[in-house]
């Protein structure tokens, strides 16, 4: 019997049982959680320079595990963007539901691979359970299939692949056999303000920019139904539940019915907005959305699940699984749910555990109240800004606010001052050819006090900018 290992195995096996190492990691994490509300919302230049400590060549010898953790905590923690605190309003980045984080710690030690039932029965069962819960929560057709992916970018790619292949199949063309060369032409219709990840997905799918018809939008970023061209059985129609800037929702009833009649496929990019369907007070926004064929949504945005939790939902299970199908001599599909049939990847971390914990923590009531709370706070934020002389450029129908100082130059300068304040963080955008400050109220951590404090930072920034220029 061979008895001597290379030192690597001995080292690592020893470390695997060194519980003090994991205690240390836990203590650093708790320390971080305790301080996050007081940490600057965005690191300043000096703090960012501390990241240079990581820019070193790979050393020749083994690293000490305690030193590795200490380096992360000392040089990393202070430079993180405090998006789990209450005053981060950038992009559409959600907070993190406490038990979902705790469940992630536990499931990280499981290190499950969600590819197949036989590799991880727990992941398979939780995916099956959450699929049903999501259908219920979002009021989607009963047989809707869900695939659990990294985010809406991938979810959209999956939905559009299913749609493209399904349309081609109906035209008698099997794209999985023949490839795209010589296929009947597929047309894409979307709103001018479609998210950039939609274009990315279309490009990957071989549906180049020249076959995209952009429909003009109204002043809120909604597709104008009267300007939608004639749809047919060769058309992919892409709608939005939540315009990434204004938060506006397309008119699903009108547009989906039109598409259905014509035999077109409808995909809805509902990255953060689809969750409006979970609230009785806000589900008028998603009215008719269930008539679409596929939907992409992120649990890591308004639902506050940890990254990376995206979902592709498709009313036609067969269209989704056939589009993502693969085979191999060693792949054994089972009678149970095999997660990889619903996603582009094979090996995949079991992100479903955090989604399950998130949904289980919130329940229907919590999901509804969380979404409504973000909406209420957005309205409060917008009203307070308006009272202080800021212009609000959108109807705050959901959780997004677009703010202007009247001209692009001043707006950009005020935004710069807000970002430098480290009191809160917002990004900027172009809206109808004008620069705006873009606020996304996306975390349950945000309190009314946080908003008051942020409004003060806005007011101070405005004073600073206007006193320079006068």
End-to-end CA distance of the chain: 85
For residues 249 and 356, which CB has a smaller minimum distance to ligand PLP in the complex? 249
The tokens describing 307, both together, are: 């990254």
Cβ partners under 8 Å of residue 54, min gap 6: 71, 75, 76
For residues 124 and 400, which CB has a smaller minimum distance to ligand PLP in the complex? 400
CA-to-CA distance for 165 and 263, rounded, in angstroms?
Answer: 14
- Choosing from 272, 425, 444, 458, the residue that interacts with ligand PLP (CB under 6 A) is 272
CA-to-CA distance for 99 and 359, rounded, in angstroms?
Answer: 10
CA-to-CA distance for 360 and 280, rounded, in angstroms?
Answer: 19
**Do 339 and 116 meet the contact criterion of CB atoms below 8 Å apart?**
yes
Nearest distance in Å: CB 309, ligand PLP: 8
For residues 65 and 193, which CB has a smaller minimum distance to ligand PLP in the complex? 193
Nearest distance in Å: CB 190, ligand PLP: 12
Nearest distance in Å: CB 43, ligand PLP: 22
Reference 451, options 439, 463, 435, 464; nearest CA is: 439
- By CB under 6 A, tell whether 298 contacts ligand PLP: yes
- By CB under 6 A, tell whether 157 contacts ligand PLP: no
DSSP 288: T
Nearest distance in Å: CB 5, ligand PLP: 42
- By CB under 6 A, tell whether 195 contacts ligand PLP: yes
Reference 272, options 152, 124, 385, 433; nearest CA is: 152
Query: What does DSSP say about strands 212-215 and 187-191: parallel, antiparallel, or unpaired?
Result: parallel
CA-to-CA distance for 209 and 203, rounded, in angstroms?
Answer: 7
**Do 392 and 455 meet the contact criterion of CB atoms below 8 Å apart?**
no
**Do 164 and 188 meet the contact criterion of CB atoms below 8 Å apart?**
no
The 212-251 site mask, x for binding ligand PLP (CB under 6 A), equals ------------------------------x-x-------
In this structure, the number of other CB atoms found within 10 A of the CB of residue 52 comes to: 9
- By CB under 6 A, tell whether 370 contacts ligand PLP: no
Q: Which of residues 307-326 bind ligand PLP (CB under 6 A)?
A: 310
For residues 238 and 415, which CB has a smaller minimum distance to ligand PLP in the complex? 238
Nearest distance in Å: CB 348, ligand PLP: 15
- Choosing from 152, 302, 421, 435, the residue that interacts with ligand PLP (CB under 6 A) is 152
For residues 345 and 464, which CB has a smaller minimum distance to ligand PLP in the complex? 345
For residues 265 and 272, which CB has a smaller minimum distance to ligand PLP in the complex? 272
Q: Note the residues at the interface with ligand PLP (CB under 6 A).
A: 92, 151-153, 195, 197, 242, 244, 269, 271-272, 298, 310
């Amino acid at each position: 019997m061979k008895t001597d290992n290379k030192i690597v195995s001995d080292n690592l096996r020893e470390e695997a049982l060194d519980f003090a190492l994991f205690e240390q990691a836990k203590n650093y994490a708790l320390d971080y959680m305790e301080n996050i509300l007081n940490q600057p919302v965005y690191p300043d230049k000096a703090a960012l320079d501390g990241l240079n400590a990581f820019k070193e060549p790979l050393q020749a010898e083994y690293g000490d595990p305690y030193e590795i953790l200490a380096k992360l905590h000392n040089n990393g923690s202070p430079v993180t963007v405090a998006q789990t605190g209450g005053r981060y309003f950038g992009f559409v980045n959600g907070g993190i539901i406490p038990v979902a984080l705790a469940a992630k710690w536990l499931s990280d030690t499981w290190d499950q691979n969600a590819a197949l039932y036989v590799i991880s029965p727990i992941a398979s069962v939780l995916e099956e359970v959450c699929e049903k819960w999501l259908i219920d929560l979002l009021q989607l057709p009963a047989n809707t299939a869900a695939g659990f992916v990294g985010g809406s970018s991938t979810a959209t790619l999956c939905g559009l692949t299913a749609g493209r292949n399904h349309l081609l199949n109906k035209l008698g063309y099997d794209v999985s056999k023949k490839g795209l060369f010589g296929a009947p032409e597929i047309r894409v219709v979307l709103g001018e303000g479609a998210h950039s990840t939609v274009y990315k997905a279309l490009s990957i799918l071989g549906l180049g920019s020249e076959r995209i018809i952009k429909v003009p939008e109204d002043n809120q970023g909604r597709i104008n139904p009267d300007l939608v061209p004639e749809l047919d059985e060769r058309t992919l129609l892409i709608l939005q539940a939540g315009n990434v800037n204004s938060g506006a929702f397309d008119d699903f009833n009108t547009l989906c019915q039109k598409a259905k009649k014509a035999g077109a496929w409808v995909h809805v990019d509902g990255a953060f907005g689809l969750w409006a369907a979970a609230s009785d007070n806000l589900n008028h926004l998603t009215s008719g959305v269930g008539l679409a064929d596929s939907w992409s949504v992120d649990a890591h945005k308004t639902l506050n699940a940890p990254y990376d939790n995206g979902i592709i939902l498709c009313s036609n299970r067969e269209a989704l699984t056939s589009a993502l199908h693969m085979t191999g001599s060693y792949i054994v599909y089972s009678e149970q749910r095999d997660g990889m049939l619903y996603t582009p990847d094979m090996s995949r971390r079991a992100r479903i555990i955090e989604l399950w914990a998130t949904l289980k923590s919130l329940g229907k009531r919590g999901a509804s109240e969380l979404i409504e709370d973000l909406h209420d706070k957005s309205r409060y934020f917008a009203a307070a800004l308006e009272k202080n002389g800021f212009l609000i450029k959108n109807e705050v129908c959901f959780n997004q606010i677009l703010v202007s100082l009247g001209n692009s130059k001043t707006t950009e300068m005020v935004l710069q001052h807000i970002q430098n304040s480290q009191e809160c963080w917002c990004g900027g955008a172009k809206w109808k050819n004008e620069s705006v400050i873009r606020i996304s109220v996306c975390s349950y951590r945000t309190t009314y006090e946080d908003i008051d404090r942020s409004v003060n930072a806005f007011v101070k920034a405005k004073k600073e900018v206007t006193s320079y220029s006068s």
